[in-house]
Amino acid sequence: MKDWSISFAGCGFMGIYYLGAISCILERFPRFIEGASKIYGCSAGALMAAILTLGIPLGECLVSSLLPKDVPFKNYTGNKQILPEDAHVRASGRLCVSLTRVPDGKNLIVSEFSSRNDLIEVYFTHLPCPQRYVDGAASDNLPRCNENNTVTFSAYAGESDICPRGSILNFHEVRFNNVSIQVNSENVYRVTSTFFPPAPEAMAEICNSGYMDALRFLKENSKNIICL
């Protein structure tokens, strides 16, 4: 694969799964991230995409994920000490976030940012204009997932490239705006955890699961990855 992109599905508080997955990839094959031409994301996935493109240390993001529940993750990451002053310059053209246009429900991918504040509005509030746009999960929760050169991440067991392993005996699946979700009890828990943050111990387990699932992906695709 000479040219590839990465896409992260929206998953709310399950975003801690991505921290585990990405820590594994950065540790074992950082070129997979460094060489990606585009990094797409929706909602919590857009936050992960921004973290990667801007080089924000994953350790700081992990700490913020374990803060008291009344301290939003987006506020901590948007702190001036964390977000580079030239963030909009570094993000433009590579970071791509999924938004939903309010009047007609159409999806929009934003990849150009005129200022640092513009970037913060798009990536951390998902509301560049409250009257015109809302979270992209309402229209496309896994942008560009159907393109052959896009490697997809999801915190739910399904057909994404990097995701929890589902049951091979379960053939029931639903799709939520392009995200494949297998119907089983484990995914019911994950979907619930999307909206209601798990306890710190459970979040640590989710993070570790992300690490192990990414490791499995790297091993199963070792021949293709060598060609990157």
Residue type at 220 in one-letter notation: E
Residue with tokens 């790297």: 218
Give 72 or 137, the one with higher predicted confidence: 137
Q: Specify the DSSP element, H or E, that contains 22.
A: helix 16-28
- Radius of gyration in angstroms for the set of CA atoms belonging to the chain, rounded to a whole number: 16
Select which of 7, 64, 135, 209 is catalytic: 135
pLDDT in tens, 73-99: 344 344 445 678 888 899 999 999 999
Residue 65, pLDDT > 80, answer: no
pLDDT at position 136 is 85
Closest C-alpha among 5, 1, 10 to residue 179: 10
The per-residue pLDDT of the chain, averaged, comes to 83
**Domain residue ranges of the chain, discontinuous segments joined by +:** 5-223
pLDDT at position 171 is 62
Residue 155, pLDDT > 50, answer: yes
pLDDT in tens, 159-205: 999 999 876 666 688 888 899 999 888 999 999 999 998 898 999 99
Residue 70, pLDDT > 60, answer: no
Both structure tokens of 59: 């350790």
Select which of 5, 7, 23, 43 is catalytic: 43
pLDDT at position 67 is 44
The question of whether 86 is a catalytic residue gets the answer no
